[in-house]
Amino acid sequence: MRTARALRALPTALTIALAIAGVTLAVRKTFPAHLSDAHARQILIGAAALVVLTIVVSVLRRLAPRAGTIALDRHHDLHDRLTNALAFEAMKPDQRSALMEVAIDDACEHAGKLAPGKAAPLRLPVDLLGSIAVGAGVAAIALLYVPAKVEAPPQLKTIDALTMSPDDVELFRDAAKQFDRQDQSPEMKAAVERFNQLIEDIANKRLDRTEAFRKMEAIERELLKGAEADAKSMEEALKAMAEELKKSELAKPIGESLEKKDLDKAKKDLKALAEQLKDAKKKPDKGALDRLQKALAKAAARQKEALAAINEKRNETREQLLAKKNKKDDPDGGAKKDPEEEKLLKKKERELERLDREAEARERVGRQLERLDRELAKAAEDLMKELGDAAKDLEQAAEDINRLQEEQMSDKEKEELRQRLEELRELLRQQGQGGKQRMVRMMKFGKRARGGSGQQGEKGEQGEQGQDGQDGQDGQDGQDGEGKDGQGKQPGGKGQLVIGPGGKKILIPGGGPGNMPGGEGPGDSPGGQNGQGPDGPGGGAGKGAGTSHDGNLAGKRTDLKGGTVDVQEQGLDTKQGPSNSEIILSAAERGFKGTGYKKVFTKYHTVAEQQINKDQVPDGYRFYVHRYFQLIRPRD
């Protein structure tokens, strides 16, 4: 019966053990890194041990009382005769009733026919089929070949570097060079340096997108720091000074110039006044000088007064604010919070912040104007004492205005640099949206813009040669000698089709330069004569040496004493040079190079700049106009 019990328990234990083995094998084969061979073996041994343990426990564990007789009774349909008999038999004889004795006898009668082997048969349980199926599955897993994963070496972390076409890099490098001046303020110099570094970092692919934008923002923040407020304060300060100066007829022109923010004229006017004071003949009368003295003194004091007024208001507001805050923090008063008061308190706080900013800007401007104020005050003092040093003081003041003017120029540069940064940011933003394709297009465009061969390499080469011919025409039809090089190199045809931007075929008229024989005209005469090309008077002297000599040299000696007369000669417009459209078309094919193209570009660019400055053009469109001219700018 115990063996039968072990057999009954076997399928369950076996199925669990096989399932564990299957999972272990699967994990070992699929993720060898997560389960080592040793661990897998340990788990498999554990699973086998589980089966063995189950069998051992089943065999050794005691059976329930009278399990054997119950099994016999059941198998032989004895209705517990045997079990009951054994139970009665276990009682003391005197405790047994007659019916118990009869029951024992009855059981004994049936005992002869018992077949214990049949009562507790050793049958393999049906559930074992399930275990066998699971075992088959495990065997399949064991036989399954799982290719080992080749571990790729860990990749080094790289940044997704921002790329910019070389053409644009060059553009911004050029822009940075323009800002590079000796007489710049230290902060402007630092900003330009940082801008240069940014461009170099982008060019060398050392920055990712986020970092580039972060750096741009940092530079811009530095540039913008207080600039607007300072400019406004400076404007107000100068205006106040102008008002006072206008009160004196002598200083009126200076006041008007300052009011118009024309520092250059103000400087000149100051110098003129100084000259007037120096000159004894032109010296003004006493009344005018008094008025000048008062005007200069007041103008010098005005800035300080303005600052004092702001500081006074600031202190007053701060005191009010503190009083209100104390009232608010008071536990008794805090219970009743009036929303109106809260609102007022916040308003006061904002006002105080504004006044702080204003005072700060005033102080900065005050520092800038300090010397000018001092000079004006000294001039006023000298005028009052009639020491005669007032003119000198006014000249000194003119120098101060000159310094202010330079500082204003520095502000303009800052604004220009900021605009460059804005352009760079927009450019990078658009490149980010356009992806790699845009970059490829830009690279191609840059190459073509420099006259390099793109896809149509051979035709590009021809274009280059033709361009040289045109350069010759751009001078004075041979008279300047310029054309000789071009014409000598490549005679042009009657016109040729070239592939322009976007793959469009463009007819380049080549009649002029092409038909011109190399040996004719140009260089025949010394290039002393000014010519008139189609675009204006030709100014350049001919490069080549002439083939004949001036008849005068062989004639009379030059009369050195004779008076020379300047003669203005008008060049002859033969209409044989290329027109603007021709230059543009040829530039589209051969690259944006050459003197002719530079002229056309400058002319058009100037017009465009004037127009967008004059008209109300949205910033976004402004960018496109700038960008367009950046892309078609002449390349050296």
Binding of residue 103 to another protein (CB under 8 A): yes
- Crossing angle (nearest 10°) for helices 209-224 and 227-246: 20
**Residue 66 or 444: which CB sits closer to another protein?**
66
Binding of residue 46 to another protein (CB under 8 A): no
User: Whole-angstrom Cα distance, residue 530 to residue 541?
Assistant: 8
Binding of residue 545 to another protein (CB under 8 A): no
Exactly one of 3, 30, 36, 97 binds another protein (CB under 8 A); that residue is: 97
**Residue 89 or 464: which CB sits closer to another protein?**
89
Binding of residue 105 to another protein (CB under 8 A): yes
Distances (CA, A) of 209 to 198, 429, 431, 492: 12, 9, 11, 49
* # chain residues binding another protein, by CB under 8 A: 23
Exactly one of 6, 72, 88, 269 binds another protein (CB under 8 A); that residue is: 88
Q: Which region among 84-92, 234-242, 547-555, 562-570 touches another protein (by CB under 8 A)?
A: 84-92
What token pair was written down for 112? Answer: 């002869």
Tokens 């356009």 label which residue?
A: 434
Binding of residue 64 to another protein (CB under 8 A): yes
Binding of residue 57 to another protein (CB under 8 A): no
User: Whole-angstrom Cα distance, residue 322 to residue 347?
Assistant: 13
Half-sphere exposure of 287 (CA within 13 A, CB side): 1
* Cα angle 141-145-148, degrees, rounded to a multiple of 5: 120
- Residue length, the chain? 636
Binding of residue 4 to another protein (CB under 8 A): no
Q: Which region among 11-19, 94-102, 541-549, 569-577 touches another protein (by CB under 8 A)?
A: 94-102
Instruction: Report yes or no: 387 and 259 within 8 Å, Cβ to Cβ.
Output: no
Residues 6+ apart with CB under 8 A from 121: 4
Instruction: Report yes or no: 400 and 259 within 8 Å, Cβ to Cβ.
Output: no
**Residue 6 or 71: which CB sits closer to another protein?**
71
User: Whole-angstrom Cα distance, residue 534 to residue 513?
Assistant: 14
Q: Which region among 80-88, 479-487, 526-534, 597-605 touches another protein (by CB under 8 A)?
A: 80-88
**Residue 40 or 100: which CB sits closer to another protein?**
100
**Residue 63 or 224: which CB sits closer to another protein?**
63
Q: Which region among 82-90, 141-149, 217-225, 407-415 touches another protein (by CB under 8 A)?
A: 82-90
User: Whole-angstrom Cα distance, residue 13 to residue 18?
Assistant: 9
Helices (H), ranges, 112-226: 116-119, 128-143, 166-179, 186-203, 209-224
Binding of residue 59 to another protein (CB under 8 A): no
Binding of residue 73 to another protein (CB under 8 A): yes
Residue 129: CB minimum distance to another protein, A: 24
What token pair was written down for 405? Answer: 């003017």
239: left (phi over 0), alpha (psi -120 to 50) or beta: alpha
Among residues 467, 441, 428, 438, the alpha carbon closest in space to that of 634 is found at 467
Name the residue type at position 241.
M
Exactly one of 4, 40, 100, 584 binds another protein (CB under 8 A); that residue is: 100
Q: Which region among 62-70, 137-145, 197-205, 472-480 touches another protein (by CB under 8 A)?
A: 62-70
* Cα angle 132-133-134, degrees, rounded to a multiple of 5: 90
**Residue 9 or 428: which CB sits closer to another protein?**
9
Q: Which region among 103-111, 487-495, 506-514, 535-543 touches another protein (by CB under 8 A)?
A: 103-111
Q: Which region among 11-19, 61-69, 494-502, 621-629 touches another protein (by CB under 8 A)?
A: 61-69
Binding of residue 506 to another protein (CB under 8 A): no
Exactly one of 106, 259, 356, 407 binds another protein (CB under 8 A); that residue is: 106
Binding of residue 67 to another protein (CB under 8 A): yes
Kindly tell me the number of DSSP H helices and DSSP E strands found in the chain: 24, 4
**Residue 88 or 172: which CB sits closer to another protein?**
88
Among residues 277, 359, 290, 285, the alpha carbon closest in space to that of 318 is found at 359
**Residue 105 or 275: which CB sits closer to another protein?**
105
Instruction: Report yes or no: 349 and 280 within 8 Å, Cβ to Cβ.
Output: no
User: Whole-angstrom Cα distance, residue 277 to residue 377?
Assistant: 16
Residue 88: CB minimum distance to another protein, A: 7
Binding of residue 109 to another protein (CB under 8 A): no
What DSSP string describes 6-37? HHHHHHHHHHHHHHHHHHHHHHHHH-TTTS-H
Sign of CA pseudo-dihedral 179, 180, 186, 187: positive
**Residue 82 or 499: which CB sits closer to another protein?**
82
User: Whole-angstrom Cα distance, residue 126 to residue 18?
Assistant: 17
Exactly one of 16, 35, 87, 229 binds another protein (CB under 8 A); that residue is: 87
Binding of residue 240 to another protein (CB under 8 A): no
Binding of residue 1 to another protein (CB under 8 A): no
User: Whole-angstrom Cα distance, residue 313 to residue 301?
Assistant: 18
Exactly one of 2, 5, 8, 66 binds another protein (CB under 8 A); that residue is: 66
Binding of residue 334 to another protein (CB under 8 A): no
Binding of residue 44 to another protein (CB under 8 A): no
Residues 369-408 that bind another protein (CB under 8 A): none
Exactly one of 42, 45, 53, 65 binds another protein (CB under 8 A); that residue is: 65
Binding of residue 108 to another protein (CB under 8 A): no
Q: Which residues bind another protein (CB under 8 A)?
A: 62, 64-67, 70, 73, 79-81, 83-84, 87-88, 97-103, 105-106
